Structure 1
Amino acid sequence: MKKDRYIFPAVFDYDDDGISISFPDLPGCFSCADSDEEAIYMAKEALGLHLYGMEEDGDDMPVPTSINKISLESNQAVVLVEVLMPTVRQAVENFSVKKTLSIPQWLNKLAIENNINFSQALQTALKEQLGIRERH
């Protein structure tokens, strides 16, 4: 079942060239940053996108490890990272994707002469074709 809010521990690994971010409970979820502030932002983004992918794939969500159970080295710190999934889902699902299409030259010229926004026209036509009345 999808949840609206997740909190997972992240390990911030400090080195001379920046901060590496990993999530002990989520193999493959990594990021990096140059400052603590940027690391928090990047950790939230990485976590949100990773969890969104897991939701889409139907994967089971792991139980987050308690921070007192995570072993650290002297250059590491544990940070609890929270993501609100409705915001992540909306951002990902409304992200614009580029499409390549072909139309007759005469139609292209006429549309340009009439200042038609091609992206908007395609979206409107697709919504009409799919019977979508409201914005998703």
Structure 2
Amino acid sequence: MKTLTYLAVLEPTGGKTYSVFFPDVPGCISTGKDLEDAVKNAKESLELHYYGLFKDEDEIPVPSDTVSKEDADGCIVSPVTIYPDIVVERFNNKKVKTNCTLPAWLKEIAENNHINYSQVLESAIKQKLGLNQ
């Protein structure tokens, strides 16, 4: 399974809090209320950033195995590994909320019959697009 491991720089910001950035992934930043939270949030941020690059068909940065002295000075450097195929699969299949309109009488009958709107709409769209297996 393909993995990508980037080095995260966790910078103390006072108390137990940290700000996080990835020198190899410009714009990918995060924070944490403590070290454990910062590392967890760094991974979530990196996964989301990766997915955005993937969806936009942007170039995926190549991870390096070192961090510059000025980036690392006074900070903690931690490797963060993601699994690109799993990230894409998870975000592509994430359920999202959407609104639709129905006649009031149909909504009332559906509710009285305990119809799951999401399930019916998903099934109908798949059928309309010929995506049913």
After TM superposition, the score normalised by the length of structure 1 is 0.87
Cα distance in structure 2, aligned partners of 1:43 and 1:15: 15
Identity %: 34
Deviation at 1:25, TM superposition (A): 1.2
Residues 64 and 70 of structure 1, relative CA distance in 2, 3 Å threshold: farther
- Unpaired segments ≥5 residues, structure 2: none
* Aligned counterpart, 1:113: 112
Aligned length: 131
* Aligned counterpart, 2:9: 11
Cα distance in structure 1, aligned partners of 2:12 and 2:30: 13
Amino acid aligned to 2:21: S
Residues 70 and 52 of structure 1, relative CA distance in 2, 3 Å threshold: farther
Cα distance in structure 1, aligned partners of 2:91 and 2:111: 30
Alpha-carbon contact 2:7-2:67 (below 8 Å) kept: no
Cα distance in structure 2, aligned partners of 1:117 and 1:68: 51
Alpha-carbon contact 1:13-1:19 (below 8 Å) kept: yes
After TM superposition, the score normalised by the length of structure 2 is 0.89
Q: Aligned with 1:27: secondary structure?
A: coil
- Unpaired segments ≥5 residues, structure 1: none
Cα distance in structure 1, aligned partners of 2:47 and 2:86: 9
